A and B are shown apart, each in its own frame.
Chain A
Amino acid sequence: MSAAERVAELPPEALELRTQVREFLAGYAGEWSDFDRAHSWTGFDREFSRALGKRGWIGMTWRPPYGAGRSAFERFVLQEELLAAGAPVGAHWVADRQSGPLILKVGTSEQQQRYLPGIASGDLSFCIGMSEPNAGSDLAAIEARADRDTGGWRLNGTKLWTTNGQHCQVMIGLFRTTGPAREMRNAGLTQFLIELDSPGAEVRPIADLTGESHFNEISFTDVFVPDSRLLGREGDGWAQVTSELALERSGSERFLSAFPLVAAASRELALLPSGSVEQADLATLGTLVAETAVLRALSLTVAGKLERDEDPSYLAVITKDLGAELEQRTAPAVRSLFDRPPAGLQRAIDYALRAAPTYSLRGGAREILRGITARALGVR
């Protein structure tokens, strides 16, 4: 295992884009409270996504006609600026990150024409149909089935922990098309594009620790999907899901989810009379910033690998594991900087504290990630 790889350098066009993104975000400066910003990429705002879409900032790396074929570094800068500002990107985040790229990679041209323009304009939202009541980290245990029917398939089963599912029009769902789970494990799985207004699909929001409902349970009772909605190849579901997960784990949302709190804290500390911020508090702030800076460097290395079509998963998994740890430390650390934080910031801290347990669960639990790293080290 090599010690490290060179941190990629952002090209001029990416830096130019950053100026444009900052100008664009400045227009929202007064609109989002610290509490709004603490929602990070789970915040759902259709109009905001449409505004991004108008600028060509969704699916920007996709080849024409669906995207502008821009570089992974440009997307990297766009994403990190949105996350640092705590912009409500939830309406397009999943589709831009993994659903769109998957459709582009394995979808039919009819599927690409049907879905990609809507994603790119910010009108179409996708959710992820992987986990189930009895299949969380052990994804190969899924039981939801797709059985052949005239001209298509009948879906039965339940998908769980579907972020923003109540607001999404389409799910890419993983279903068992051959044999029972116990025998087949990760074989015989197939992905489908399921439009959630289909008869028999039922979406139930789940209230969580934050008092809000991000997760959903989506049940399927004899839901019909035509053959044309099978995504990729029958039986290739596991390989397709694995490539999706690599994208899901490699982005800067894996360490920036709590960053808006740090930005708010540094803004508030700067309002104190000059020189009155205690050294220990500067050290706390400096440590949060430094750790974020290092994860950003790692993430940039991952982006460089994606741009060169190399497998980034080893560094991506490490970035996500360390990132979740940092995100979970952030709310208590920011809280420690104030005897009594300003009311807006206090609300944001309270929210982030209650959202924090999911940071090391979503996109692969901490234990799963460490198992992947251990395998790469040759001990598993």
Chain B
Amino acid sequence: MSVSDLLLEQVVRLHAGGQNQRRDETGQIDVTLWGKVAELGLPLAMSPEASGGFALNWSELFDVLAHSAACGEPTPLGETLVANALLCAAGLAPVEGPVFFRIPVEGPDDRAMPTLPDAARVLVAQGSSLNLVAPAEAGDKAIASTMPADQAVLQSGALLRAIQIAGALQGALDLSVRYAQERSQFGRTLSKFQAIQHMLAQLANEAEATAAAARMACAKMDAGDGALAIAVAKLRAGRAVEKGAMLAHQIHGAIGVTLEYPLARLSRNMWRWSDEFGGQRHWAVNIGRASLGATGAWDAVIAPSDPVGATDRG
């Protein structure tokens, strides 16, 4: 069994039992769960061994990241893991506490941050700089940059969000299938209605397409050529959210829109994630520009899933 399989097994076990305390991005994080996650060394899973990490790559961590997102991301595992890898890559020391990403918006920002534990840090990406700050400073203060927020940071964030969206869609699909099998109306379970079956199938389409896109982007990122594949994955993930979240809610009826029901966490996370590290328009324009020319479109189609260097036209 590989290290990544072992980690997945443990993450699945830790998240089992389901209803974690962090209901959505405005609520508390599940501190108990975080303690167990940290105990396993997971926040350093992507960091080099010299920094105490496992040096796992994106492909190896896909399942762990996706599973945590499918469970509603009760801890900021994905963010912390990626932030630590970024910190290490910039020659800085990884942090112990949970890390949250924060992308400031222009004008008033009413997206509340979770109530964070004291040890937490917030990674704020603004313009060309990326700052690691204490929660109290995450608002509007200008803070000295700890490393440049270059293309690699944007890519890492976008890839993380694509993986998490893939996980959240799978989580939404699992919830929807279960609900359709349990809920009865007109004397039969929802799963017996063809209209519901077809909505479930379409939700599966979106989940599988996003997962394939994110896995493809992981492989390319690991091979050192992530730019186009990540653009494709983040765009596809965002489009899948538009369709997938609505399908999951339609299948669930009114129960799905209550904050108490686990689907709410999934859809709220998905909507936020699809907007972060480049929304659909950003990446679509980016890909469009790369696709211009007589052979440009086809080359851009195959490059993201081709081996590195294979698509250069001679």
Interface residues of A, Cβ cutoff 8 Å to B? 1, 3-7, 9-10, 15, 19, 22, 80, 84, 259, 262-263, 265-267, 269-270, 277, 279, 281-298, 300-301, 315, 318, 321-322, 367, 369-371, 373-374, 376-380
Chain B interface, DSSP helix/strand/loop, else mixed:
helix
CB neighbors of A among B180-213 (8 A): 180-181, 191, 194, 196-198, 200-202, 204-205, 207-209, 211-213
Q: Is B202 a contact partner of A370 (Cβ separation < 8 A)?
A: yes
Q: Are B197 and A318 in contact (CB under 8 A)?
A: no
How distant is the Cα of A301 from the Cα of B239 in the complex, in angstroms?
A: 21
Q: How many angstroms from the CA of A5 to the CA of B314 in the assembled complex?
A: 31
Give B250 Cβ to nearest chain A Cβ, in Å: 15
A246 CB to closest chain B CB (Å) equals 17
Decide: B288 and A282 in contact? CB cutoff 8 A.
yes
Whether, in the assembled complex, B294 has its beta carbon less than 8 Å from a beta carbon of chain A, the answer is yes
CA distance A374 to B239 in the complex (A): 22
Bound Cα distance A374, B180 (Å): 11
Q: B45 on the interface (CB 8 Å rule)? A: no
Contact for A293 among B66, B173, B215, B300, CB less than 8 A: B300
Interface centre among A7, A265, A376 (most CB of B within 10 A): A7
Q: How far is the CB of A116 from chain B (nearest CB, A)?
A: 31
B297 touches which one: A19, A289, A297, A321 (CB < 8 A)?
A289
Min C-beta distance of B277 to chain A, whole Å: 16
Which residues of chain A are near B288, meaning CB under 8 Å?
A: 277, 281-287, 289
Interface residue ranges of B210-241 to A (CB < 8 Å): 211-216, 219, 231-233, 235-236, 239
Q: Does B3 contact A (CB under 8 A)?
A: no
How many angstroms between the C-alpha atoms of A10 and B180 in the bound complex?
A: 39
Chain A residue contacts of B209, Cβ below 8 A: 294-295, 298, 318, 322
Are A291 and B236 CB-contacts (below 8 A) given A285-B288, A318-B205? Answer: yes
A6 touches B198 (CB 8 A): no
B71 to A: closest C-beta gap in Å? 13
| Interface residues of B, Cβ cutoff 8 Å to A | 59, 63, 66, 70, 166-167, 170, 173, 177, 180-181, 191, 194, 196-198, 200-202, 204-205, 207-209, 211-216, 219, 231-233, 235-236, 239, 280-281, 283-298, 300-307, 310, 313-314
Check if B197 sits within 8 Å of A4, measured CB to CB.
Answer: no
Instruction: From known contacts A7-B215, A15-B307, infer whether A293 and B232 are also in contact, taking CB-CB under 8 Å.
Output: yes
How many whole Å from A112's CB to the nearest CB in chain B? 34
B308 to chain A, nearest CB (A): 10
In the bound complex, how far is the Cα of B70 from the Cα of A374, in angstroms? 20
Complex-state Cα separation, A297 to B209, whole angstroms: 9
Q: Which residues of B contact A294 (CB under 8 A)?
A: 209, 212-213, 216, 232-233, 236
**Which label, helix, strand, loop or mixed, suits the secondary structure of the A interface?**
helix
With A3-B211, A286-B289 in contact, is A379–B294 under 8 Å at CB?
A: no
Instruction: Looking at the assembled complex, report how far the CB atom of A148 sits from the nearest CB atom of chain B, in whole angstroms.
Output: 40
Please give the distance in Å from A289's CB to the nearest CB on chain B: 5
A374 to B288, CA, bound (A): 34
Cα-based distance from A303 to B284 in the complex (angstroms):
27
A53 and B166 CA atoms in complex are apart in Å by 42
A285-B236 contact in complex given A263-B297, A318-B208, C-beta closer than 8 Å: no
How far apart are A371's CB and chain B's nearest CB, in angstroms?
Answer: 7
Question: Are A377 and B200 CB-contacts (below 8 A) given A263-B297, A283-B281, A287-B239?
Answer: yes
Specify the chain A residue showing the minimal Cβ separation from B306.
Answer: A10
* Residue of chain B at shortest CB distance from A375: B197
The reply to whether B294 and A267 form a contact with Cβ atoms under 8 Å apart is: yes
Q: A4-B214, A293-B304, A318-B204 are in contact. List 14 more A-B contacts (CB 8 A).
A: A1-B173, A6-B59, A6-B215, A270-B296, A283-B284, A283-B285, A286-B284, A286-B291, A293-B301, A294-B213, A300-B305, A321-B205, A377-B201, A379-B191
CB distance from B14 to the nearest CB of A (A): 18
A259 touches B201 (CB 8 A): no
Q: What is the distance, in angstroms, from B252's C-beta to the closest C-beta of chain A?
A: 14
Interchain nearest-CB distance for B145 vs A (Å): 29
By beta carbon, the residue of chain B nearest A374 is B197
What residues of chain B lie closer than 8 Å to A262, measured between beta carbons? 297
User: Which of B200, B202, B292 has the most A CB atoms < 10 Å from its CB?
Assistant: B292
